[in-house]
Amino acid sequence: MDDRRPSPPPPPAAQDRNARCSWLFDPMATFVILYLVISVIISVYRSRGDPSMLVFVLFSCSDLLFLFLCLRRFERLAPGSPPAEKVRLKMAVWLLSAALVLAFSCRVSSVMPRALAALVWLMAGSVLVGGFYGLFLYKEQDDERER
């Protein structure tokens, strides 16, 4: 007869450490980050004579990486995590995505005629307002009315 008991689960700190590093072993995440790094290296090499392009490339890359990290942290939040942390991560995601939309809109609108540039800024504004509404103002209704 075997009196061995199952080993207890690892402490929460060890689980948290494993969850933080688990994205390193995700093949898709590794591929995306590797592709992004290679793309940035090529873009930096091509823009070595244009400082504004270099700043744009480095800003876009760093913004995108921080956006990925914030989204990953938001996905990994436990159901019982504090609401303040959820709101803080939502705000970080919205700010990072807004900065990326504004940077791309600025870059694109600078090479377009004024009418199309105005349309680009109008679409960027609608994306920002819609994203803010979707993340912070919209509350899901209970589907009991539909029953």
pLDDT tens-digit series, residues 93-140: 999 999 999 999 999 999 999 999 999 999 999 999 999 999 889 887
Q: Which of 10-19, 33-42, 51-60, 112-121 has the highest mean pLDDT?
A: 112-121
The pLDDT value given to residue 70: 93
Question: Is 17 a member of any domain?
Answer: no
User: Which pLDDT value is given to residue 32?
Assistant: 83
Please state which of the ranges 34-38, 88-92, 99-103 shows the lowest mean pLDDT: 34-38
Amino acid at site 65: L
Is residue 17 predicted with pLDDT exceeding 70? Answer: no
In a domain, 15, yes or no: no
In a domain, 146, yes or no: no
Q: Collapsing DSSP states into helix, strand and coil, what is residue 147?
A: coil
Rounded distance between C-alpha atoms, residue 78 and residue 2, angstroms: 36
Give the largest Cα separation in the chain, rounded. Answer: 83
Expressed as residue numbers, the domain containing 85 is 22-137
Q: Which of 39, 73, 71 is nearest to 58 (CA)?
A: 39
Would 102 be classed as within a structural domain? Answer: yes
Decide if 12 is inside a domain.
no
| Mean pLDDT for the chain overall | 84
What sign does the CA torsion over 36, 41, 44, 46 have?
Answer: negative
Res. 3 pLDDT band, cuts 50 70 90: low
Distances (CA, A) of 141 to 84, 134, 146, 147: 21, 13, 10, 13
Domain assignment present for 14:
no
How many folded domains does the chain comprise? 1
pTM of the model: 0.73
Does position 18 have pLDDT exceeding 60, yes or no? no
Is residue 58 in some structural domain?
yes
In a domain, 1, yes or no: no
